[in-house]
Structure 1
Amino acid sequence: MPINVTNEQADTLTRKFARLENVSITDAIVIAMREAIERRLSAETPLQTAARLRAKHGVNLSADNKKPLPKEAFDEMWERD
């Protein structure tokens, strides 16, 4: 089944990728699409990323950790000299 690429940027990027991988243009498209699909299927949600980072650094969510910082903490971060 033929694919007709009429977008100049898509054509340029596909050819560049094919040269980098030393494969045909068809194989370059297959490789790129497989990698793109895999990345999207295995991507973490923000909640998953936060949970992974908490586990990595030994941070436990407790009631105290969920309390908002006082206004002064934010003011101090933006205090100008």
Structure 2
Amino acid sequence: MFKNIFKKKNNADTNTTAEYWYKLAENYYNDRQTLIDNNESQTKIDGAGVLAAKDFWIALCLGHEKSPILLICMFWARYWCKTR
């Protein structure tokens, strides 16, 4: 399943491009900010953060230079601490 995610394609419209994953991650990050502003539950906020981190990580692996590695680490660490 995951082996196809990391294959680079020449077609920019596919979901395997770094830009696609970066934009998807930005959307999740913005959703997270909206959830915070609306005082939603911490579970929803953390869920959006983990989804953003996952997609930022995929974008980084595909070569996107703007993926924030510190943000990725922060979200994953927060998630990991809550599940232990």
Common fold: TM-score over 0.5:
no
Larger Rg: 1
Which structure carries more relative contact order (alpha carbon 8 Å, separation 6+)?
2
State the TM-score, normalizing by the size of structure 1: 0.29
